[in-house]
Structure 1
Amino acid sequence: MPPLANRGRRLVARIIDAILIGVPVSVIMTVIVGGVDYFSTSSVEAGKQSTVSGVTMLAYLIYEGVMLAKRGQTVGKMAMKIRVAMLSNGSIPTAQAAWIRAAVYTLPEIVPCCGFIFWLVNVLWCTWDQPYRQCLHDKAAKTVVVSTETAPAGGMPPTA
């Protein structure tokens, strides 16, 4: 099994993916629904906001599921030289594991109020989880995030 990826690289990879998927999809959806006033309290604007958020979430779910099932990496993970691996053997996630991981990461936000709290606990879980530094979406899919960097010339793997 390659060494575990550090939390900083995982965070930056998520930020890259969120920008890569979230910004274009949100902009396109905002244009389609005719603009969104995020400071309005009208039910029409709330509906527009929900539509934009829902489509963006669906796009991220599909992106994450497809990329992990095919490569074990998203574009952000490639840039940060990390990948998702099956805990049992270090291989690229099975299609089922990839989609479970993507769903547990993305879909809880559908639930008003509580969804964000679950998401926050989920992503912070790796800060205290031992020994594999798994988030809840990793535990659900039986995956870990590992480094793809090769060992330096001295033969010692990079520390995570």
Structure 2
Amino acid sequence: MSIHQPPSPYAPPVFPVGMPPLATTGQRFLARLIDTVVLGVVWTLMLSATGALEYTLENPGEYDLPKVLVSVVLTFSLYFAYEGAMLARSGQTLGKKALRIRVAMLADGNIPGRHGWTRAAVYALPGILYPLLVGTVFWVVNSVWQLRDRPYRQCLHDKAAKTVVVSAW
């Protein structure tokens, strides 16, 4: 192959020297599942704090839309803060720590730092549009993107922040 030919799409990905191997799709899924439990706890606390949960329990089949909307905005704002701070500091959320994987900068394998906030924003903030189903549709597309992405198995939030998910050794 000459220097003017593009690399083969079947060639293994090129990583910086010393970069750990990519995390498996299963590891990423299980880590995100754990983080979704964290999100569920925050969601329940926000529904309770705004009175939306109490209203629904007292009025089965009904909900107080303004309180639910405030809960949604608070939940996903807090989840963004959780994910952004954890990724910026260590490259790991609680789920990633449990599965021994971490987020790394594609260019050099370092912890994402400020790019962790970009990654968190692209992942968490569309959830604010949950009542319109836009957030849900985006999450599904974003999450399954890694199944077709080659060679780095990146989701859209990885692409936005120029990150990959690797083994934490």
Give the TM-score normalised by structure 1.
0.83
Whether 1:18 and 2:36 are equivalent positions in the alignment is yes
Superposed displacement of residue 20, structure 1: 2.4
Secondary structure in 2 aligned to 1:89? coil
The equivalent of 1:134 in structure 2 is 154
The match for 1:52 among 57, 71, 83 is 71
Residues 26 and 2 of structure 1, relative CA distance in 2, 3 Å threshold: same
Whether 1:105 and 2:105 are equivalent positions in the alignment is no
- The 4+ residue runs of structure 1 with deviation greater than 3 A are none
The equivalent of 1:93 in structure 2 is 112
The match for 1:118 among 116, 134, 138 is 138
What is the number of residues matched between the two proteins?
144
1:42-81 matched pairs, under 5 angstroms: 45-81=64-100
**1: CA distance, partners of 2:44 / 2:79:** 14
Superposed displacement of residue 109, structure 1: 2.6
Residues 52 and 11 of structure 1, relative CA distance in 2, 3 Å threshold: same
Residues 18 and 36 of structure 1, relative CA distance in 2, 3 Å threshold: farther
The match for 1:39 among 56, 61, 73 is 61
What per-residue deviation string (whole Å, max 9, x for no partner) do you get for residues 105-159 of structure 1?
Answer: 011233323332222111110011000000000000000000113xxxxxxxxxx
**1: CA distance, partners of 2:136 / 2:36:** 16
**2: CA distance, partners of 1:108 / 1:145:** 21
Superposed displacement of residue 17, structure 1: 1.4
Whether 1:2 and 2:20 are equivalent positions in the alignment is yes
**2: CA distance, partners of 1:21 / 1:115:** 14
Of stretches 133-142 and 51-60 in structure 1, the one that deviates more from structure 2 is 51-60
Aligned CA-pair RMSD: 1.6
Secondary structure in 2 aligned to 1:60? helix
Larger radius of gyration: 2
* Percent identity over paired residues: 51
Amino acid in the other structure paired with 2:156:
L
Q: Is the 8 A contact 2:72 2:128 kept in 1?
A: no
Secondary structure in 2 aligned to 1:84? strand
Amino acid in the other structure paired with 1:71:
S
